[in-house]
Structure 1
Amino acid sequence: MLNIALFGPPGAGKGTQSALLVEKYKLAYISTGDLLRQEISEGSELGKKAKELIDRGQLVSDEMIVQLIEKRIIASADKNGILFDGFPRTMVQAYILEGLLLKLNTSLACMLSLEVPREELIARLLERGKISGRTDDNAEVIEFRLEEYNNKTKPVADFYKDRNKYIPIQGVGEISEVFDRLVQSIDNTLQKVWFNLVLTGAPGSGKGTQGRLLAKKYNLYYISTGSLLRREIKAGSEIGVKVKDIMDRGELVPDEIVIRLIESEIRQHNNVRGFVFKGFPRTIVQAYILDGLLRRLDSSVSYCIELNASTIESIKRLNARSKTPQARSYDMNTELIINRLEEYNEKTLPVADFYNKQHKFASLNAIGDEKLVFERLSEKVEAAMKMLR
């Protein structure tokens, strides 16, 4: 998801630019003021509570604000992300937003701050007051609002500067000029966001072949847990000795071994556009492990594609591979092949459901020659990349 916070003092042009950004990137728009007014207008329980507070001249609590925002995010699953206008406004709200997005398995890509000189802001707001008749657009209130912004909101800017997510944008100029600056900054940010693809499917579905082709085409780094483990076995390392017997029996290698190898591989090759994970995660537990690992690196799984081949087709392919130099030890035994297919159905199919619930999953027909399947797969990957951006 592309989640952006648009920052700036009153009169900086956040409302105008928000509308343009929402349209271009197909984002859901979240303004706490708009959300409150909507709830009050609908007469919801939250709206009634908020109205009572506002009528008494009190501020709506952060707890109530976060309920409104979470409700709106969940209702916006069909969008490419969220544009936050006017939130977070305090350090407390910045921590709230970080925790809320983490709970929803996403994060803030950047905070864009419209920088406009004080004199220009005052002139804009006074002019707006003449046209709109807004009671808060008079000289006395404007001074107070700007002072309030500087006192409470500057620490929020520092919060995101420390996380390398704060981007100042020159807010003076024609609307189109400011918009172009915002778009350029967003697109630059997206270039730094990893695209992480989980490629799943039963043994013999073609994950290895297609994963390598995808990595080459899209400048992704291919990570195969099987290849990592075989490398350790060939090197005769301590890990290799431990896992050889396990792999020969066609069983899954313990998670603590696999995750150490994957994390090391990611850290050694972090200059790519992202990663293709083949053979991991194979279980729900591993799906959570991968999420946690990527979250530590300020990333996440972008999409999961299942290569769908029939059991008969998988057996045929594995049998054919057993007669090549690429043969695996478990390809030589029909009983082991069947055991691996049963284990996939029991333990790995729930992983597809895990990503499907996050709207990050597609199943692909893997029957056909290598080129045809790759064309289908490329279409899915490009659609997923477009959605991410």
Structure 2
Amino acid sequence: MLNIALFGPPGAGKGTQSEFLLKQYNLFYISTGDILRKELAEETKLGLEAKSIIAKGGLVSDEIIVQIIEKTIKNNPDANGFLFDGFPRTFVQAYILEGLMIKLGTALDLLISVEVPQEESVKRLLLRGETSGRMDDNEEVIRNRLREYDEKTLPVLNFYKERGNYVSVNGLQSIKKVTTDIKKRINEVLRGKYLNIVLFGYPGSGRGSLGRAIAEKYKLEFISTGTMLDEEIEKGSETGKKVKELYENGRLVPDEIVIRLIEKKIEQSKNAKGFIFKGYPRTLVQSYILDGILKKHNSFINKIIEIDVDTLELIRRLDQRSKTAQRMPYDSSTEKIVKRLQEHKDKTLPVINKYKEVHDVAVIDGMASFDEVFNRISKVIESGFKTLD
């Protein structure tokens, strides 16, 4: 997920820059100005409350702003990220935004401040007022808004400077140059940002082979809990001995062991661009564990991908696999295959539904050749995280 706040005084051109960047980074646009005007046009309770404040050149109360933004976010649970324009305006709102990002299991990646001198802002807004007809585009109200900005909004910059995610851009440049500078900053963030993918699919859907191929293409670390457990057994480590004993007694491996293995893998993968998880999480509890592990490493899940394959095709594939060296214990009979598929449905589908509440779960048609499915997954990944040259 990529979250950006575009910052600057009235008349800085934030709206113009936002419109362009949305198309490049596949973000959902949250402009407090736009959503407030929408509330005004629909004459909602919040809109009527905001009307008198705007007319006087004041800032709309935090209570109103929070309610409108929360409403917007809840109506867009599949967003790949958010671009905030006009929020936060105050030091208090900076904390509010941080709280909203925590609720989403993410964080604000970058605050970009488009800087314009006060007299230039007045000039631009007066010109806009000649054609817009907006009640707040007159000199008295404009100067009042800029005074509000100086007194309340500028301290927000220090809030983000302390967190190391603030950059400034010269707003007196041409629109094209401002856009170029902003893109450069965002692309720097994206280049240093982990790409974390969870790959779902029933046994036989091709998760393993596809996951490894995707990991190689995008320089990700492939994390398969089953593979890691088998490696521990093969090494004869203390963990491996415990896992082997659990297997022999038909017991499940406790989450404590899996957590340590995942964290060890992440810590050892310093050069990885991110991680692709196969076979984990399998349960709701494990989904919360994975969120916590990634949060600990200042990272988050960026993409959820589910490979969809017809049930009869799954059974056919698993039956064929049972005759190869890649066979799994549950491939040995049709009864065991069906039991394993049912287990996936009962335990893992609720996990996918949980992720759908806060992520865009991309469902990929897996009823095709390996190369075709691989290309479909690649397009989904690249559509969400493309950058400009």
1:141-290 → structure 2 map (5 Å cutoff): 142=143, 145-248=145-248, 252-290=252-290
* Secondary structure of 2:348 counterpart: helix
Q: Cα distance, 1:198 vs. partner? A: 1.5
Structure 1, unpaired ranges of 5+: none
Asked whether the 8 Å contact 1:203–1:318 carries over to 2, the reply is no
Asked whether the 8 Å contact 2:170–2:178 carries over to 1, the reply is yes
CA RMSD across the alignment: 3.1
Asked whether the 8 Å contact 2:129–2:137 carries over to 1, the reply is no
Q: Cα distance, 1:96 vs. partner? A: 1.0
Q: Cα distance, 1:316 vs. partner? A: 0.9
Asked whether the 8 Å contact 2:246–2:253 carries over to 1, the reply is yes
Find the counterpart in structure 1 of residue 344 from structure 2: 344
* Secondary structure of 1:49 counterpart: helix
Note the alpha carbon deviations across 1:270-304, whole angstroms, 9 max, x for none: 43222110110111221222122223323224122
1:1-389 → structure 2 map (5 Å cutoff): 1-51=1-51, 60-76=60-76, 80-116=80-116, 118=117, 121-126=118-123, 128-129=125-126, 132-133=129-130, 138=139, 142=143, 145-248=145-248, 252-296=252-296, 297-306=298-307, 308=309, 310=311, 311-321=314-324, 324=325, 326=326, 337=337, 339-366=339-366, 372-389=369-386
Asked whether the 8 Å contact 1:126–1:139 carries over to 2, the reply is no
Asked whether the 8 Å contact 1:198–1:303 carries over to 2, the reply is yes
Task: Sort the Cα spacing of 1:200 and 1:320 in 2 relative to 1 into closer, same or farther, 3 A.
Answer: farther
Task: Sort the Cα spacing of 1:127 and 1:307 in 2 relative to 1 into closer, same or farther, 3 A.
Answer: closer
**Further displaced range: 104-113 or 178-187:** 104-113
Aligned residues: 379
Rounded Cα–Cα distance in structure 2 between residues aligned with 1:269 and 1:343: 32
**Further displaced range: 101-110 or 71-80:** 71-80
Q: Which amino acid is the alignment partner of residue 308 of structure 1?
A: V
Asked whether the 8 Å contact 1:90–1:153 carries over to 2, the reply is yes
Rounded Cα–Cα distance in structure 1 between residues aligned with 2:295 and 2:382: 19
Rounded Cα–Cα distance in structure 2 between residues aligned with 1:147 and 1:54: 14
Note the alpha carbon deviations across 1:155-206, whole angstroms, 9 max, x for none: 3222223333212222221111111111222222222232222122233433
Rounded Cα–Cα distance in structure 2 between residues aligned with 1:106 and 1:255: 24
* Secondary structure of 1:384 counterpart: helix
* Secondary structure of 1:267 counterpart: helix
Task: Sort the Cα spacing of 1:377 and 1:37 in 2 relative to 1 into closer, same or farther, 3 A.
Answer: same
Task: Sort the Cα spacing of 1:330 and 1:81 in 2 relative to 1 into closer, same or farther, 3 A.
Answer: closer
Structure 2, unpaired ranges of 5+: none
* Secondary structure of 2:299 counterpart: coil
Q: Which amino acid is the alignment partner of residue 313 of structure 1?
A: R
Asked whether the 8 Å contact 2:8–2:115 carries over to 1, the reply is yes
Q: Cα distance, 1:92 vs. partner? A: 1.6
Name the TM-score, length of structure 1 as normaliser. 0.84
Q: Which amino acid is the alignment partner of residue 125 of structure 1?
A: V
Q: Which amino acid is the alignment partner of residue 114 of structure 2?
A: L
Higher relative contact order (CA 8 A, sep 6+): 2
Task: Sort the Cα spacing of 1:75 and 1:365 in 2 relative to 1 into closer, same or farther, 3 A.
Answer: closer
* Secondary structure of 2:154 counterpart: helix
Q: Which amino acid is the alignment partner of residue 170 of structure 1?
A: N
Rounded Cα–Cα distance in structure 1 between residues aligned with 2:265 and 2:73: 34
Asked whether the 8 Å contact 1:308–1:366 carries over to 2, the reply is yes
Rounded Cα–Cα distance in structure 2 between residues aligned with 1:127 and 1:362: 43
Note the alpha carbon deviations across 1:299-337, whole angstroms, 9 max, x for none: 22412223535352243144123xx2x555565677765
**Further displaced range: 133-142 or 21-30:** 133-142
Task: Sort the Cα spacing of 1:191 and 1:381 in 2 relative to 1 into closer, same or farther, 3 A.
Answer: same
Asked whether the 8 Å contact 2:8–2:14 carries over to 1, the reply is yes
Rounded Cα–Cα distance in structure 2 between residues aligned with 1:301 and 1:246: 33
**Further displaced range: 50-59 or 33-42:** 50-59
* Secondary structure of 1:178 counterpart: helix
